[in-house]
Every structure is written in structure tokens, then in C-alpha cells.
Structure 1
Amino acid sequence: MIKRIIFFITALVSIQAFSQRSSSSPYSIFGVGDEFGTRTVEQISMGGVGAAYSSSQYLNFINPAALSELRYATYVFGLLHNDLRVKDADTNQSSATTSLSYFSFGVPISKNAGIIAGLQPTSAVGYSLINNLVDGDGNIVDITAFTGDGAVNRLYGGIGAKLFKGFSLGVEVDFLFGNITNNVSNRRQNVALGTKNVEDSRIRGGSIKIGAQYKTQIKEDIDLTVGAAVKLSNRLRAKGEEYLYSFTQGSLGGEIPRDTLSATSLRGNLERPLETVVGIGVGKQNKWYAAVDYQFQDALMPSGYLNESAQSLRYGNSSRVSLGGFYLPKFNSISSYWQRVTYRAGFKYAKTGLLVNGIPSGNTFTAVDDFGISFGLGLPLGNRVSNVNVGFEYGKRGSTENGLLQENYLNLRLSLSLNDLWFRKRQID
């Protein structure tokens, strides 16, 4: 009962926390923001593998077929602290954000099936860029500031079931929603009024994911699992308003709106082609596991106002390779706590699909790639089933070529996984 109360309180807090989520990446200026993968802290600590991963006590956000192995009612939520250093050819800047990254719960409904539901962000906007023009004497004569914030979240539910020995199938449905605001303000020397353009949009959409896993024993106590999941093509719709108005600077630095110069409606779509992830894993139950995943998707297709950055952005095909696993010395050890700790590690290499033209006067698009290494610990709580999971991830995204920005990031992730047995038969001594 205490675990259920804790999860309920966390869920209420999470709804407010999601609405305040922010990103500090300059690349979140494009499209619907900086997109996140749907992975748990445990999976990210193993490089992000999950297509062929299943567990009796951990949830799998990549492949819904893994729910067939769930044996405990599982409540989870995750936190993310991101330290980001952004640099170009001449300067660098640091920032940090802390946010709630997901909460979810899964319940076994039979010995061969389980269900899941939850809420998590899929992308976030949170950039702040300034462009200054100077005269021949080095004095600033024109300041343009680009800022944005907002997020797109998904509310989802899924089910997975074992259809026959070794083979499981699952399906997941989600509803995506959020709000994004983009601002461009300009002030010029010796001009009393500045101007500000505001794009305020509402994002809606949905998607369906289908997954499958097949597990077989290749040696005594050694299991081989292959898995795949496909997210069907879907569309994000954006609707909103665009305003252009003049303003003056207040005595305390704030803006005081004056006159509305124009107001128009915004419409846009983001077509997402079929996304596929396949994987293979091998391991010994409650001892060790190693896996590799490959994920790929054709280029996203924006239209309407979401395609207005076409001169500086193009979408290309995206892909990701993940490799990782875990080691558990002795899950039922009585003499040593650290032998009951799960040790995880992995790495990833991803082509994000972003092709950016960093020099306005040029026409050269450079791919934004992402490489990261990760490791983590699964720290058992008193009943040896529930866990606190800690993960660390260090990586690099982008480069300083072609006038672009390079991001070096350090992510600290924390999750709490509360497990309990439901539907236990009463026993009478």
C-alpha cells in the first residue's frame, strides 16, 4: 500500500513537472524540439538496448512484447540532470537542467501477459541564442534574440502476451500533446521601439507500435533472444497563432508591449515514417546479459510553418547502434550487499537525421551525429526486488564544422522502481 501511495503522489507531481520541462540544446530550435528516445534509466545505462530485453521486474519502453515476462506490479519514475557545454570555433558556454523524464506502471494480468501505462516527454524546446551586429568601431548596433520553450509529451498504454512457447507479441498506443513557443526579438541602436515575433503552437498526434520477441535456450541456463519493434508512420499536427508587435524596454529590463503589427494563424505537419528497431541478446537469468540493437528511420517530412527553416535545416535518414548489458554477481547473496548490485554499461552511436547549414551565405549541410558511453548501478532496496537505479552518460553531439555547434553532455539519471506482487493466493496454515 505504501508503494502505491508513493507512486500516486509522484504521478500528481509529475504532471506539473512535465509542463515545466526544458531543454538547453541549441538544436531544439528546429521542428518540435530536441527529441528523446523512449528508454528507461536501466536501458540507457546499457547503451539504450531493449529490442530483445525482457525482465520479470523491469519495464521495457522499446518493445511492448517484453511485457509478457513481467511478474511484479512495477511502478517507475525517472529523473534527469543534464550538464551541457556548447562550443563553436571560438567560444563555449555551459548550462544545466533538471527534469522528470518519465513515470509509468506495469501490471502482470496473467502468467503470460502484462499491461503498461505512463507519461513521458518525447521532445523539448529550450534554446536562447543572440546575434549581434557591430559597426566599424566595434559598437553593437543591432541585437536579435532567439528564444524558445515548450515540450511534446506522450500518454501511452500497451499490452504484451506470450502466444506460444518462446514467442511474445505486444502493441502500444500513445497520444502526443504539447505546446511550443518560439520568439524572435530585435532592437536597433537609436530606435525607440523594438519588435518581437511570437509563434505559439499546440502539437497533437498519436502513434502505434508493434513488437515481437522470440526466446530460446542455446545452452544450459543460457538464453538467446531476438526482438523487433516497429512504430507505424504517423503525423504530428501543429496549430497556433503568430504575433508581431512593438515594445519598449522597462526600467527593470522587462518588455512593455505597445502595438500589435500583425496576427496570423499557424498550420503545420510533421510526417514521421515507419521507425524500426531490431536486436539480439544473450544472457543468463539473474546473472548477466549482453545485447546489440539497430534502429533506423527514413527522413522526417515537415510542411507548413514547421518547414520554414528549410534554408538552415534538412532532415535525412536516421539510425542508431546500441551495445550494452549488465552483470549481477549474486542476486540472492546474504553476506554482501554489493554482490546484489546490478552493474550496467554500454555505448551508442546515432545519426540523428538533422542536416544543418551553419553558414547563412552557404549551401552546405552537415550531419549532426551523436556518440555516447554510459554505465549505471541497480541498487536493491530492502525486499531485493525494488531498486534505485543510477545511470551516467557522457557524449558528444554535432561538431564545429561549417559554423555549427558541438555539444558535450554529461547526464546523471536516477530512477526508482517499486515492485510488488499482486493477485497472490491467500495461504492458510
Structure 2
Amino acid sequence: MYKVYRFLSGFAFLASVATAQAQNLGNSPYSATGVGDINESTGSVRSFGMGNVGVGTPASAYINSSNPALLYYNNRVTFEMGIGGQAKQLSDEVGKQRDADGSLNYLGLALPLSKRWSTAIGLRPFSTVNYEYVSEGAVNGDPSTKIVNSYTGNGNLSEVFFGHGIRVAKRLNIGVSASYLFGAVERESTAQLVNESDVSLSAERLVISERSNYNGLLFKGALAYRQPLSKKWSLNVGTVYTLGNDLTTKRRTVQERRLASDLVLSRNYLGDSITTTTHLPQGIQFGLSVDNGQSLVVGADFSAQKWSDYKSGLSTEKLADSYRVAVGAEYIPNPASINSYFQRIGYRAGFGIGKTPLELNGKQVNDVSLHWGFTLPIGGSPRPPEYTQSLLNLGFAIGRRSNGESSTLQEKYFRIQLGFSLNSNWFIKPKID
């Protein structure tokens, strides 16, 4: 019982640290709309290394938060944590910019409650806002004066999820998941007239600051089915439906006139703690895989979300429906090998392509990525009476986001995830020889 208490206490502490450290993955103008960049990597580092494939790929050593119905296969207590980092290059017809950052990425704890029922709790990023860019334009009738607009945004939404996977019939599982979304986003836009011959005109700027606090619930329903194809091979099919939901949004908007020294000349509250709602749309995911139960799994996922139904208070911004297709595979030469450590290393690779909710110049932004990764077992091979297995997981991805036009904004990125997974049977009765 002491071991259970120690792990739960450690999980609560790490969760508080993760909440305090907002996910920040470098400047991305693509995060300026909606609630920001939506986290596509909702599974473990294993899923990330396979191209974020996970809706139809069961695994007992990892927490599958992509499809709660697959939590049924967590027949041992499983604790996972991961950190993530990213380096990116932004470019357009004007120039290039490089950024890099990282943070604690996710935490999860799965518990088998019975032979037919397992549950999991966890914390992960839901979306991230982090951008900063500047635009310039001419003033009509005055060629010597230009207007400079700057835009910045920072913040994130986090997700605490509570999922269940239950075996309801032979080979058929159902799953449900409830999440609490919370976070704050701050945005600021600045307009300034610049005239080299009139310094006084350039000394003042108009600043509009907006802070939005979000909170609300998110629900998912899921199914998973496993069908043997032969003595060695099985087919897995899974689906997840995400209900549309409304987040309570409290928004505070302030308009200020400032000098170059940031001295405030005047302040006007355009909206002080106005409460509105932000509607997140429904989504659907399908996944399938084929595995031999030990060393090889090949899977594919499809996901779609109706972002054209997104609404946020008085905002008029429009988003487009998104979708994503991914394929991936995992190979472990001999998971039970005692003589060779390298036979127990897991190798993964995957590929993903899709369209994001954002449009530039009337064209939807594409996201294409190539993934790969490894699992390095820690310690000896798991066998009775310990039933304990520790895994170090590495995942990598390179990708590009653009609308296909070379003159518009393009983003090339390199992402890395590092995760730790611990599996243990805490409730085995000791045997006396």
C-alpha cells in the first residue's frame, strides 16, 4: 500500500509542475487563430514514433490515451511521463527565423481495477498559443508615413483526462473518457505610425491587450475490437468519437495609448471580465492494425474534426475542417530475449499527412511529417516474481506546414519526445516456497 501512496503522491507533484510550466514550442504564427495549435500527439511516445498512430493499436506496456477502449489491455499498473522539444524554421518571401524550446509534455497513470476494467488518469497539453510577428503598410495620401502593426500571443490550454476501458463481450471493448480543459491566453496587437521626418508622430502607439481564461469539459466515447486472423496474427479495429462542447470563456480587453518608453498615456476597458463561450467542434477517429502479439505491429489512423463549427464569443474568425491520415509500424526482434539486450529494443517508424484548420490566402495549410523512434528497456527482462518493466522511449519527427505557395509562410520543424514508462504488478500475493 505504501508503494501505491508513493506513486500517487509523486504523480500529483509532477502534475502540478506540468501545469505550472506552460507548453512553449517556439514562435508559430499558425497558433494565432482559434485556441491555438491543437496537440495532435495525444498518445504516448510509442504512438508519436509511429506517426501518432494509436486508435487501433493496443499495447499493455503503454497508456493509450488516443482510444480509451484500449486501456483494457493495461493489466499492470503503468506510469508514464514524457518531455518534448522542438526546433523550427519559419520562412516567407521576406526572410527566415529560427526558434527552439521545450517542456514537460505529459503524465499518465493506469490502474487495472478488475480483469475486465482498467482506468487511467493523466495530464497533457491540449493547445498552445505562441506567436510574434510584424506587418507594415503605407498610409493613403502620405507616402512618407507607414503604419507598423505587431501581434503577439502566449498561453495554452491543458487537459486533465480520466478514461476507462471495459471488456463487454468476447474481443469487444468500450471506452469512455472525460477531460477537464483549462488555461489562459494573452494576446496583444499594436499599431504605430512611423515617419522619419516627424519624430513626434512615431513616439505614440495604440495597444489592445486581451486575456482569455478558458475552462470546460470534454467527453469521448470509444470502441475497440480484436479479431484473430490465424494462430499468430490478429486484426484490431478502433474508433473514437469526440463530442462537441462549450468552454466557459472570461475575456478582458484593454485599449491603451503608450509612448515608446511604454509609459501609458490613457487606458480604456473595452470589456472587463465579459463571460462568453468557445465552442469546440465534434471529431471522429478510426484506426486499424495487424499484429502478431509479440514483435510486429502495423497500423493506420484517420481523424477528422469539423472546425468550421468553431465559435468564440464575438469573434468572427473562420476555421476549416481538418483531417489527418497516418501509418506506422513497430518491430521488436525478440521481446523475451534473455541473452541479447539488442533483441529487446523496439524500433518504430511512421508517416502522417493532413490539413490543419488554418487557411492562408484562401488555401488550407497542410502538415506533412515523418516519424521514427526507439524503446530501450531498462534492467533485465521482466519475469516473475517482480513483474516489473521499465522502458526509456525516444521519438523523433521532421515535418513541414504550408499552404503550398512558396511566397507565403512556411514552417519546417524537428520534434523530439523523451518518455519513461514503468510497469509493475503491485497486488500480487507473495508465495512461500
The answer, yes or no, to whether TM exceeds 0.5 is: yes
1:325 maps to which of 329, 332, 345: 329
C-alpha contact 2:19 2:158 (8 A) present in aligned 1: no
Match of 1:360 in 2: none
- Which stretch has the larger CA shift, 135-144 or 85-94? 135-144
Task: State the aligned residue count.
Answer: 413
Kept in 2, the 8 Å contact 1:23–1:34? The answer is no
Deviation digits for residues 335-368 of structure 1 (CA, Å, limit 9, x no counterpart): 22111111011001111132233xxxxxxx1111
Does structure 2 conserve the Cα–Cα contact (< 8 Å) formed by 1:80 and 1:98? yes
| Correspondence for 2:60 among 45, 51, 56 | 56
Deviations 1:66-100 (Å, cap 9, x if unpaired)? 11111221111111111111111242111111111
Q: Does 1:257 align with 2:246?
A: no
CA distance 1:6–1:305, change in 2 (3 Å): closer
| CA distance 1:58–1:140, shift in 2 (3 Å) | farther
Residue aligning to 1:293: 301
Q: Structure 2 matches for 1:20-419, cutoff 5 A?
A: 21=24, 23-37=26-40, 38-133=42-137, 141-189=146-194, 190-191=200-201, 192-250=203-261, 255-265=262-272, 266=274, 268-305=276-313, 307-308=315-316, 310=317, 314-357=318-361, 365-384=362-381, 385-399=389-403, 401=405, 404-419=408-423
User: Relative to 1, partners in 2 of residues 1:22 and 1:205: Cα closer, same or farther, differing over 3 Å?
Assistant: farther
Instruction: Tell which deviates more after alignment, 21-30 or 194-203.
Output: 21-30
User: Quick check: 2:306–2:321 contact (8 Å CA) kept in 1?
Assistant: yes
Q: Counterpart of 1:376 in structure 2: which amino acid? A: G
> Which shows bigger deviation, 380-389 or 67-76?
380-389
CA contact (8 A) 2:83 2:417 kept: yes
Distance 1:335 1:275, change over 3 A: same
Inter-CA distance 279–142: structure 2 relative to 1 (3 Å threshold): same
Q: Which amino acid in structure 1 is aligned with residue 39 of structure 2? A: F
How far does residue 415 in structure 1 lie from its aligned partner after superposition?
0.8
Query: What secondary structure does 2:17 align onto?
Result: helix
Tell me the equivalent position of 1:361: none
Tell me the secondary structure at the aligned position of residue 307 of structure 2.
coil
- Residues 304-340 of structure 1 show CA distances to partners (whole Å, capped at 9, x for unaligned) of 55634x3xxx322211111001000011222221111
- Range that drifts further, 2-11 or 269-278: 2-11
Unaligned runs of 5+ in 1: 358-364
- For residues 93-148 of structure 1, give each alpha carbon's deviation from its aligned partner in whole angstroms, at most 9, with x where no partner exists: 11111111211111111222210111111101100001234799998844321000
Distance 1:11 1:419 in 2: 19
- SS class of match (1:157): strand
Structure 1 residues 205 and 369, CA gap change in structure 2 (3 angstroms): same
Query: How far apart, CA to CA, are the structure 1 residues paired with 2:110 and 2:332?
Result: 23
* 2:92–2:406 Cα contact (<8 Å) kept: no
Cα 1:108/1:154, change in 2 over 3 Å:
same
Q: 1:119 to 1:376 in 2, by over 3 A?
A: same
Q: Matched residues in 2 for 1:213 and 1:307: separation?
A: 38
The Cα offsets for residues 258-298 of structure 1, whole Å up to 9 and x where unpaired, read as: 32034324455433332111111111122110011111222
> CA 1:239–1:301 in structure 2 vs 1: closer, same or farther (change >3 Å)?
farther
3-state secondary structure, aligned to 2:263: strand
Question: 1:114/1:133 Cα in 2 relative to 1: closer, same or farther (>3 Å)?
Answer: same
Q: Secondary structure at the match of 1:219?
A: coil
Deviation at 1:7, TM superposition (A): 4.3
Give the conservation status (yes or no) of the 8 Å contact 2:25–2:100.
no
Distance 1:137 1:237 in 2: 45
Q: Partner residue of 2:14?
A: 10
CA contact (8 A) 1:271 1:300 kept: no
**Secondary structure at 1:386's aligned position in 2?**
strand
Q: Is the 8 A contact 1:194 1:248 kept in 2?
A: yes
Change (3 A) 1:394 1:138: farther
CA distance in structure 2 between the aligned counterparts of 1:128 and 1:172, rounded to whole angstroms: 35
Displacement of 1:387: 0.7
Report the residue type matching 2:321 in the other structure. N
Per-residue deviation, 1:237: 3.3
C-alpha distance in 2, partners of 1:27/1:68? 37
